[in-house]
């Protein structure tokens, strides 16, 4: 047994009809009998059987990690968007109940729903997010732990003209360039470790902005970007993310929104919460980062980043 969101990522599931696709099964010579039953993400499908004191507990919330995070971030209506800052970054925006094929090389995926209906999201994946901080720690040894990067980056007021494109394994959405190479440009005699650290953090935000720009070209304007994941606790990064996007960034009190989303889906299916709005009303403690950068400076910084990305593309060809 699996749910629609996990089934949708197998390349065997028809996300328009909501069923295993007969043509794809025939192409790959996979018998239908080998595949699991597909259920809704919020539906009681069984009970735990164990001697550890959990016997009889309902299994009722099943979702892929990014779809669960989207639900945990309360992005239940078209236009709601979240970005997860892990080793890589994953930006999803709810696009509603109608399947749409992206014109800008984004993935159309099924979203988790409490309403037992097919809902969709655009997704853009970034290969190197928090991994750039690990690179500063392990390869350059500028910091001894990832948590130190914010202090190091805050030791300077800006990047000093340094731009860092961390295309260590190519570039993901919306570029999809497997031949891109990492680029560290704009170094000066006065460049310090703090400038490189700050440029590394900004590179994460710029990549998210690239994906969001592609998403926004196809969907409704974004009111705010909801954020989660390990790097979302970095206040300097979150403020710059708001600045470079020009929209507020909202960080929930509980940043483990994948687990939170699965719990929400299960709780709604079992009647622990009467309806989704009860969850929204009970949400407390979100932190808001308001954009402070003016439009002209934002455009200048984005332009410089985009020129660097163009240089990084096709580097190893």
- Tell me the pLDDT tens digit for each residue of 70-127: 999 999 999 999 999 999 999 999 999 999 999 999 999 999 999 999 999 999 999 9
Quickly state the pLDDT bin for 208 (edges 50, 70, 90). Answer: very high
Residue 197 lies in a domain: yes
* Dist CA 215 CA 102 (whole Å): 8
Taking only Cα atoms into account, the Rg of the chain, rounded to an integer number of angstroms, comes to: 21
* Dist CA 200 CA 147 (whole Å): 14
* Dist CA 23 CA 119 (whole Å): 23
Which residues form the domain of 273? 65-317
Residue 31 lies in a domain: no
Write out pLDDT tens, residues 25-45.
999 999 999 999 999 999 999
The 3-class SS string of 155-180 reads CCCCCCCCEEECCECEECCCCCECCC
Residue 9 lies in a domain: no
Write out pLDDT tens, residues 129-178.
999 999 999 999 999 999 999 999 999 999 999 999 999 999 999 999 99
Residue 116 lies in a domain: yes
Residue 260 lies in a domain: yes
Task: Compute CA 153 distance to the chain's CA centroid, rounded to the nearest angstrom.
Answer: 23
State yes or no: pLDDT of 282 exceeds 90.
no
CATH label of the domain that carries residue 169: 3.30.420.40
Q: How many CA atoms lie within 13 A of 49 on its CB side?
A: 2
Structural domain total, the chain: 1
Residue 269's Cβ-count burial label (10 Å; 0-12, 13-18, 19+) is buried
Quickly state the pLDDT bin for 317 (edges 50, 70, 90). Answer: low
Average pLDDT of the chain, as a whole number: 95
Tokens representing residue 54 in the block: 């959990």
State yes or no: pLDDT of 291 exceeds 90.
yes
Number of Cβ within a 10 Å radius of residue 83: 30
Residue 54's Cβ-count burial label (10 Å; 0-12, 13-18, 19+) is exposed
């Amino acid at each position: 047994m699996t749910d629609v969101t996990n089934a949708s990522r197998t390349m065997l599931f028809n996300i328009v009809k909501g069923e295993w696709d007969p043509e794809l099964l025939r192409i790959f010579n996979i018998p239908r009998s080998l595949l699991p039953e597909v259920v809704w993400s919020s539906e009681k499908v069984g009970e735990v059987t164990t001697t550890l004191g959990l016997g009889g507990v309902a299994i009722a919330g099943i979702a892929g990690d990014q779809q669960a995070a989207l639900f945990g971030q309360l992005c239940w209506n078209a236009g709601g968007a979240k970005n997860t800052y892990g080793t890589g970054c994953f930006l999803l925006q709810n696009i509603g109940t109608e399947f749409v094929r992206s014109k800008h090389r984004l993935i159309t995926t099924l979203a988790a729903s409490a309403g037992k209906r097919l809902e969709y999201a655009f997704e853009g994946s970034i290969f190197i997010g928090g991994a750039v901080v690990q690179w500063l720690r392990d390869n350059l040894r500028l910091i001894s732990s990832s948590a130190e990067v914010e202090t190091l980056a805050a030791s300077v007021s800006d990047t000093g003209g340094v731009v860092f494109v961390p295309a260590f394994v190519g570039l993901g959405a919306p570029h999809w360039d497997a031949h891109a190479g990492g680029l560290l440009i704009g170094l000066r005699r006065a460049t310090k470790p703090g400038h490189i650290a700050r440029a590394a953090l900004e590179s994460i935000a710029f990549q998210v902005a690239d994906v969001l720009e592609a998403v926004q070209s196809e969907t409704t304007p974004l009111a705010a970007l909801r954020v989660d994941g390990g790097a979302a606790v970095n206040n300097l990064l979150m403020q710059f993310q708001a600045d470079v996007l020009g929209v507020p960034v909202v960080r929930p009190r509980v940043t483990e929104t994948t687990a939170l989303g699965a719990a929400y889906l299960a709780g709604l299916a079992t009647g622990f919460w009467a309806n989704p709005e009860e969850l929204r009303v009970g949400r407390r403690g979100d932190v808001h980062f308001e954009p402070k950068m003016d439009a002209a400076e934002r455009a200048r910084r984005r332009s410089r980043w985009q020129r660097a990305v163009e240089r990084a593309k096709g580097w190893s060809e």
